[in-house]
């Protein structure tokens, strides 16, 4: 008794395997295209963020921007929101090193700021920069004593 049916599956398997390889190659090519697109989009986003940050700092440093900061509670709140992340990071570093809670960490940061006569946000930036090994941003004071980058 011959098994002629046994020879049939081999060509079918070869066809299936060839189609699977072609689909896998197409999927890999599409994946590479998408990865390149995502990289391009991220590059554009980062460039836009840098431009936006630079414009914001220039606007604040201008006489009109300083005047706005002095008069506008909204502008002061926005400036505070921008400095908040670095203060929170510094609190986290202090909490980790001193084994204390967030309130005590902020109190330590505040007292160190007062002792050294350095604003809290600048001291926080120095702590974060020292921990991350990144040079801190220099802050300057306006005529009214407010700090701007």
pLDDT at 136: 53
Distance CA 41, CA 28 (A): 20
Whether the model pTM is above 0.85: no
**C-alpha distances in angstroms, 106 versus 109, 128, 149?**
5, 14, 22
57-105 confidence digits (pLDDT tens): 666 677 776 676 667 777 667 777 777 889 999 999 999 999 999 999 9
Exposure string of 28-56, with b = 16+ CB inside 10 Å and e = fewer, is eeeeeeeeeeeeeeeeeeeeeeeeeeeee
Q: Looking at the predicted structure, is the pLDDT value of residue 115 above 80?
A: yes
Q: Looking at the predicted structure, is the pLDDT value of residue 120 above 50?
A: yes
**pLDDT band of 19, cuts 50, 70, 90:** very high
Contact criterion met (CB below 8 Å) for 60 and 66: yes
Q: Report the chain's mean pLDDT, rounded to a whole number.
A: 79
- Report which DSSP code applies to 145: S
Cβ neighbour number for residue 115 with a 10 Å cutoff:
9
pLDDT at 63: 76
């Amino acid at each position: 008794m011959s098994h002629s049916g046994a020879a049939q599956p081999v060509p079918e398997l070869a066809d299936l395997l060839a189609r699977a390889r072609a689909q896998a190659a197409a999927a890999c090519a599409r994946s590479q295209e998408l990865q390149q697109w995502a990289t391009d989009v991220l590059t554009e986003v980062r460039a836009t963020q840098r431009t936006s940050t630079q414009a914001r700092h220039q606007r604040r440093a201008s006489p009109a921007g300083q005047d706005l900061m002095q008069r506008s509670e909204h502008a002061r709140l926005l400036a505070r929101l921008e400095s908040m992340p670095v203060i929170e990071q510094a609190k986290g570093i202090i909490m980790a090193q001193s084994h204390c809670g967030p309130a005590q960490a902020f109190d330590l940061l505040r007292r160190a700021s007062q002792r050294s006569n350095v604003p809290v946000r600048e001291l926080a930036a120095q702590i974060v920069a020292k921990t991350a090994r990144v040079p801190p941003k220099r802050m300057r004071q306006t005529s009214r004593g407010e700090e701007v980058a």
